[in-house]
Chain A
Amino acid sequence: MIELTIDGRRVRVPEGTTIWDAARGAGIDIPTLCHDPRLSPVGVCRVCVVDVGAPALAASCVRPCEAGMEVETSSARVERRRGELVELLMSDQPPPESDARETSLGDNALLELARRYDAWGGSLPRQADRPADASSPVIAVDHQACILCDRCVRACDDVQSNEVIGRSGKGYAARIAFDLDAPMGDSTCVACGECAAVCPTGALVDKPLDSELRPRERLDPVDSVCPYCGVGCALTYHVDRARNRIVFAEGRDSPGNQKRLCVKGRYGWDYAQHPQRLTTPLIRRESAYPKGPLSKDVRGEHDGRRKPGGIVDYAEVLPAFREASWDEALELVARRLSGILREHGPDATAGFGSAKCSNEEAYLFQKMLRAGWGTNNVDHCTRLCHASSVAALREGIGSGAVTTTYGDVRNAEVALLAGTNTTANHPVAASFFKQARKRGTKLIVVDPRRAPIAEHADYYCRIKPGTDVAFYNAVMAVIIDAGLADSGYIERFTENYSELRETVARYTPETAARICGVDADTIRRIGLELGRAKSSIVYWGMGISQHVYGTNNARCLIALALLTGNVGKPGSGLHPLRGQNNVQGASDAGLIPMMYPDYQPVGDPEARAKFERAWGRPLNPEPGLTVVEITRGALEGRIKGMYVMGENPFLSDPDVNKVRKALATLDFLAVQDIFLTETAEFADVILPAGSYMEKLGTYTNTDRRVQIGRPALEPPGQARIDWRITAEISSRMGYPMHYDSPEQIFDEMAALTENYRTLRYANLGKTGKLWPNPDPERGDGSEILFEDGFPTPSGRARFVPAEWTAAPELPDEEFPLVLNTGRLLEHWHTGSMTRRAVALDRIEPEAFVGVHPGDAEALGLAEGQRVRVVSARGSVVLKARLTERECPGAVFMPFHFREAAANLLTLDELDPDGKIPEFKFCAVRLEPLREA
């Protein structure tokens, strides 16, 4: 500690503390423009200068305190110099009445100083010849207003690691610049908005989305959580209550996202305000029977050309429905479903809940089906996502959740990113991975697609599609051969090691190299890196899980972590990056066919007895059907009635042609959603739900962080919050549900679980809490699990060896290419939200198929040319995008686009353990279209 004097006050601070921080700690605010406590200081604006008794003043944001220093932070001399600095900056600023920030958000920090020092730049010659740049869909750039404070540069480089913004030129002519001085909209900018969030002037300002920007004082801040991915970024919506509009979103400080957001979180919330929101219950007209698809796209008559907005044409669909009262609609749902229960038994019904809904809603939904209807046929899109990972994790370590957080990457010597396009699908988590790499963590990226994260990797391995098991088995063989297996850990915490050793021994690097296409030396190097690292975390995504051998893929990753003793200590662990904002929570809440809340098996008599007591009904002991099995069941006539809450299986499930038939075959389908989805075209009743923005509830992110989402908007028209609709249906079907609040539901659920038991709305705080959490009043919860054994019967983790098997549908002469499907940064799943978000739609408006330039050349296919992609199950037409990110011999299609639905092509083969379909591997051919 050193002692110094600031404005006459004695202050003691640790060595290395800057004067600015020391003053702040003493309650003295020193003005600044370039400094932001989240960014490393650069000391360029000089507004924070203070007098330290030297001839020159010292920039307090960069000057370390020295013992005995006497600092004056606001002497007449200091204030005079600050005033002159502001005068200098103001001399070239746009007039306040036309400044982009001041006229919209009213928080121009330079103008605040101009007012404070009454310095408006008038004493100096003005030069106003710097251009504006309106090319970005979300951010307006005004170089005239830029004061080169470097905040945006640091936000882009150091915080988000997107590395787009730099400076061009020198001296007075210097400007910020994107890439090689491209217009922002043409640059590699991914529109995360971090630059505009930190800009103190009108230089970088968000463009208004669907309503005018306004000063925050005139808006109501609502602390909530982002509705998109499993990263679960804490954010604040600034709401215009009078107009029932979100005006802008801002990242909120949390142990997770630390204020960061991505393009979806920052600019993708306006879907909730879209005019196509459902506002009235709808009942299918008699004339619209027999049921079938209503729009051309859903009939499969699409040509891949984009219609305005790329979304459902209501004019095509709405005539098939009539408006109804809630009473009539709910009565109809209850009557028809009760009829099916009576006639065909509980297992003739099924329900899809949603990982977009809250824990409370997931809990109520499965409770209604299990206790009210008597069936376990309840599932949700986790089946399409990490079901295989969860199966492998439960089998291997007794728990399906992550063993550590994404932020723990900072402590990892090595991080393995397996089959994850993180910058697109978990952008904020990716920002922490990239940042960790800059601080010394080695990144190993393994993926057939060279995703952007590969550019940050120390090692990038392009394995051939579907060869993960061979690759990882060989990596493990290398580790064992090199004597780098952690025998102490293996002995103490695991079982079945000899079986693993035997299996992987057959996968020499040379053998694996022939299968996976990565040369043996690289496999050896990767093995040695992982074997020697004192700590390593495996993060994985859909590239691992969405295969018929997804469980085997995950088994390998689990074995790899156990083999090196990398579970249960900082910087170590297993982390399947969860997709949906609440896929962890929905699974925790029992929205899966074989488990009650908190993974208590329905087949376990003890667990069943517990829930029968709690729910007051006898429960069905048979595990229910999974998503794709339910669809097959419908096709085969075994499933007759369905209730779908917030899912859109028509686009999200494999083999759309089969799904279309299945949905049309159902006797009764109730769809509850915020928009008229493709699935809703097959509905008998459509129930208008409240959106995420309109309700209170808890959501559990990929880290197991349980956070509260709060209502920012009023539901439009007669739309109702999901849990209220579910409770009403349940009551009308003879299983009364009376709840006053989500909190009451949460408490009921928590009391039935081990992991949520200690959590209450009151103790979740502003940034939520991790489960498990022994003391949520005081602690954030357990970041790292299994420090001392595993929740398995033996207390040990189990090595489950896996053999490599080829994909079920290999390319052949007719279908020579592999189709991989996935997501884009700007879009979410079936596009029902993001394609209705103005900015996101503008950035990625249309479907495409990604093709390696080498393959394209062989086909005579040019960039942007339309091409028919054909599989044994169907075909779509869309534009080609040539990129070396694609693996030679494989093409990639995002599945967001109804007009070129990727799932028309995929096959519905299932993983035997996780029951997850094969989304990442089917055989296709490309037929370039010769047309104008």
Chain B
Amino acid sequence: MGAKSEPSAIVSELTLLQERDGWLSESGLRDLAARLRLPLHRLESVSTFYTHFRRSPPEERELAVCRDLPCALAGGEGALARLSEREPGLKLREVSCLGRCDRAPAAQLDDGGIELDLSRGESRPLAARTAGPWAAELYSDRAEHYSTLRSRLAGDPAACIRELEDAGLRGMGGAGFPTGRKWSLVAAEASEPRYLICNADESEPGTFKDRQILTDLPHLVIEGMALAARSVGARRGWVFIRHEYAPERRRLAAELERAYAAGALGRDIFGSGFDFDVDVFVSPGGYILGEETALLECMEGRRGEPRNKPPFPGSKGLWGQPTLINNVETFVHAAGILSRGAEWWRGLGRGEFAGHKFVSVSGDVERPQVVLVPMGTPLGELLDFWGGMRDGRAPSAVAPGGASSNFLGADGLDTPLDFEALREAGSMLGSGAAIFVAEGRDLTEVGLNVARFFRNESCGKCVPCRVGSHKAVALVEREGVNPRTRAKLEELDATLSETSICGLGQVALAPLLSLLRGAPE
């Protein structure tokens, strides 16, 4: 079969064209179509799907402002109004989560990577903000970096997978699929070549832990990728990273350079005979690309619309070849387990729980930030340890796994951070993003904010999600919450969750309903 080894040129060509002209003009697109020998509709379809691409000339100065939950809770609207007054020449554009909920309300000026801190009313160049030290760091000295990889290259690849299975590591991107099993499925595929992708397209409101990891522990991400590649027999890998993460991308690029220089990537890694190359693929934008098959579609130069599954990427992924896709954090923990052993990992958790977890804490809290806590830590402790709720208010609800997780009431704060425990409590761990909502908030508005996010980010491929997410929001906006609309929302929720192609549609209405169900009729 004609398996190709390079991501499609379409996305990068469009990016280059936009960098050249500032936007994608009709004549520019026609020339590009002729050069790439593509039908015009292909460029139309791709260029209008991704938020990064402009089909009209840009405004002089444009401020992208996040409208999603943590930023809304941080008073984004009021801050915006003040800013427009002060700078009338500024064009404001509402966008989805920028992955900077720790500095909510988040905003970004132009594409140039200027960050505007609305709460303080000042702007400064976007820079990666380091934190830590992190308990996940394996090395006390930079010279030791990649030593796990060096030692593991000598051993049996299957032993790595067994180690992960023993540890019980699960995917940290949201779905929680057992990592060892995922690796073994790809390793068992007969087809060559096989690919590996690190999913750094973190885009869900309340989620920004991968950004912190890429800033502070990029060497562990790369080491985890190389270990995974060796385990599954992949020789090419990509970090798929959102375009808004420019500073993190620079950190990553620098670390990749270091890794190549150290012989930890490239040909004949550490003299083992094993080759593995890593490139960075910059996402042209959209929450849906975090869905792994949408991500693949994007890399293949199409609209980022999730595929019907099965087949799963492990058997038919990029260009139809077996592809291992893991989250940034998963690679870090995999490196940890392969360095220190399953026993170490299991001992990190509290009580019967295994491992630790990076959690993004945001919302109505005093100091939104990323924390690394043992698995099993009760949700409420996330507040106790890091400054508590903003202005000392009491929490009324928390979404423990980001915008896609159901809200738990104050009575859910005892629930331990754990895949199963949170599922039993009616929510989920997701990617580990606790959004706290303070008492006194209009919970319908909170739920509606989340529903709007999914509506805005629906790719539009399947009917239930495309139409259902839109109609549900319109219904509440138009008629409010009453017994008829409640019943209709329940019906829509069932339809979306049971018939949508991907997780986005399946959960689109659930957080809203979780809040409505908790509220009195």
Contacts and interface: CB of A to CB of B under 8 A. Distances in A.
B482 interface: no
A166 B462 contact: no
Nearest to B457: A171
Contacts of A55: 497-498
Nearest to A161: B39
Nearest to A163: B39
A166 B455 contact: no
Contact of A49 (B456, B474, B499, B506): B499
A170 B308 contact: no
A180 B29 contact: yes
Contact of A91 (B39, B464, B467): B467
Nearest to B456: A171
Contacts of B459: 170-171
| Chain B interface bracket (under 10, 10 to 19, 20 to 34, 35 or more) | 35 or more
B310 A64 contact: yes
A28 interface: no
A43 B471 contact: no
Contacts of A12: none
A172 B40 contact: no
Contacts of A455: 37
B431 interface: no
Contacts of B44: 166-168, 177, 179-181
A435 to B, nearest CB: 14
B133 interface: no
A85 B39 contact: no
Interface in A154-186: 157, 163-174, 177-181
B41 A166 contact: yes
B42 A46 contact: no
Contacts of A164: 39-41
Nearest to B499: A46
A533 interface: no
A59 interface: yes
A179 B45 CA distance: 9
Contacts of A173: 460
A148 B471 contact: no
A603 to B, nearest CB: 52
Given A63-B308, A163-B39, A174 B471 contact: no
A123 to B, nearest CB: 6
B512 interface: no
A254 interface: no
B497 A171 contact: no
A125 B473 CA distance: 10
Interface in B470-521: 470-471, 474-475, 478-479, 488, 491-492, 494-495, 497-501, 506
A192 to B, nearest CB: 15
Nearest to B477: A125
Contacts of A168: 44-45, 48
A44 B469 CA distance: 15
A84 B492 contact: yes
- Which of A77, A148, A166, A188 is the most central at the interface, judged by chain B CB atoms within 10 Å of its CB? A166
Nearest to B478: A125
Given A62-B308, A180-B30, A89 B467 contact: yes
Nearest to B462: A44
Indicate the member of A43, A49, A62, A180 with the most B CB atoms within 10 Å. A180
B182 interface: no
A56 interface: yes
Contacts of B48: 167-170, 177, 181
A141 to B, nearest CB: 14
Contacts of B2: 440
Most chain A Cβ neighbours within 10 Å, of B26, B464, B506 = B464
Interface in A66-101: 77, 81, 84-85, 88-89, 91-92
Contacts of A42: 308
B235 interface: no
- Specify which of A169, A179, A181 lies most central, judged by the most chain B CB atoms within 10 Å of its CB: A179
A10 B98 CA distance: 52
A84 B30 CA distance: 41
A836 B4 CA distance: 50
Interface string B446-462: 00000000011111111
Given A57-B498, A125-B471, A174 B460 contact: yes
A49 B26 CA distance: 40
Contacts of B500: 46, 56
A206 to B, nearest CB: 21
A56 B501 CA distance: 9
29 contacts: A42-B308, A43-B501, A45-B463, A46-B464, A56-B500, A59-B499, A63-B308, A84-B491, A85-B463, A85-B495, A88-B463, A124-B474, A125-B471, A125-B474, A125-B478, A127-B470, A157-B39, A163-B39, A164-B40, A166-B41, A166-B42, A168-B48, A170-B49, A170-B458, A171-B456, A171-B457, A172-B458, A180-B41, A440-B2
Given A88-B495, A148-B466, A440-B2, 7 more contacts: A56-B498, A88-B468, A92-B467, A124-B474, A170-B49, A174-B466, A181-B48
